Amino acid sequence: MAYEFATYEKKGRIAVVTVNRPERMNALHPPANFELEGVFDAFVADPELWVAILTGAGERAFCAGNDLKFQASAAGRLEIPRTGFAGITSRFDNPKPLIAAVNGVAMGGGFEIALACDLILAAEGATFALPEPRVGLAAGAGGLQRLSRAIPLKHAMGMMLTGRRVPAEEGYRLGFVTAVVPHAELMAEARRWAGMILECSPMSVRATKQVALRALDVPALEAAMQNANYPAYAALARSEDAVEGPKAFAEKRKPVWRGR
């Protein structure tokens, strides 16, 4: 399927999604948001795809957030799909890992998109911010909730209350960036991380993601371990992969994952 505001490539088990509005620093307006919802609907539904990389077209921006010029021309009207900004910030039923390859500016909704991914890989010149208070708004696509869970609260508040820009290296030190690499190596690094994920059972990866995220909602460790509902973990225990992994180890060969 052809897309107007994004590209969607399949490379083996990996999907590469690129926001394609470089003339607007990949800022998103309603048509782009709804189109990206369709892209990620397709990714989640495709059993042949096990991990996705999200990046932005061009060298300047990953995503500059909401297209404020478009919103102003629409008399302030803002339409967001049920799955949230870029079709992922309110998508809580995606079991597959997402990697953000941040190639430049990740501001506002753009930073919120990155925070909705499971890994954030950043080019050396990338910058992050939630600048909404500077224009009389607030980050409403999960950024306030996710950032305050991802790093110590005082550091998160320092970013959120000022809207200040944080370079990639500082983001790495604070803990919301997974790795920082030269710009020219960003996509290769993203594929390297995707490749490492693909070395693991997709059933195990999905169980791990579900348990880690759902456990954040359970304050007591004992309850998080014993009483919480983790269907993906139960599915892993019943899976062919749970048989294949130990068998391959015993036979000193690489496992052949089925994802079921």
What Å distances lie between residue 86 and 28, 36, 115, 162, 214, CA to CA?
Answer: 7, 5, 12, 25, 22
Residues 150, 220, single domain; the answer is no
Q: Which of 258, 217, 215 is nearest to 238 (CA)?
A: 258
Instruction: Please check whether residue 153 is in contact with residue 130, taking contact to mean a CB–CB distance below 8 angstroms.
Output: no
- Position 196 pLDDT exceeds 70: yes
Residues 77, 172, single domain; the answer is yes
Choose one of 198, 220, 239: the last residue of a domain. Answer: 198
Any idea what the CATH number is for the domain that residue 97 is in? 3.90.226.10
- Position 1 pLDDT exceeds 90: no
Q: Which of 126, 108, 216, 105 is nearest to 177 (CA)?
A: 126
Choose one of 198, 224, 241: the last residue of a domain. Answer: 198
Instruction: Please check whether residue 17 is in contact with residue 158, taking contact to mean a CB–CB distance below 8 angstroms.
Output: no
Q: Does residue 1 fall inside a structural domain?
A: no
Q: Does residue 91 fall inside a structural domain?
A: yes
Query: How many domains in the chain?
Result: 2
CA distance 112 to 105: 12
Give me the domain span that covers residue 190: 6-198
Residues 228, 192, single domain; the answer is no
* Beta strand 14-19 pairing with 105-107: unpaired
Q: Does residue 227 fall inside a structural domain?
A: yes
User: What would the pLDDT profile of 98-124 be if each residue is shown by its tens digit?
Assistant: 999 999 999 999 999 999 999 999 999
- Position 74 pLDDT exceeds 90: no
User: What would the pLDDT profile of 164-182 be if each residue is shown by its tens digit?
Assistant: 999 999 999 999 999 999 9
> Catalytic residue numbers?
112, 132
Residues 114, 168, single domain; the answer is yes
Residues 66, 132, single domain; the answer is yes
CA distance 122 to 119: 10
User: What would the pLDDT profile of 40-63 be if each residue is shown by its tens digit?
Assistant: 999 999 999 999 999 999 999 999
- Position 234 pLDDT exceeds 80: yes
Residues 217, 175, single domain; the answer is no
CA distance 175 to 97: 18
Q: Does residue 83 fall inside a structural domain?
A: yes
For 70-98, what is the mean pLDDT? 89
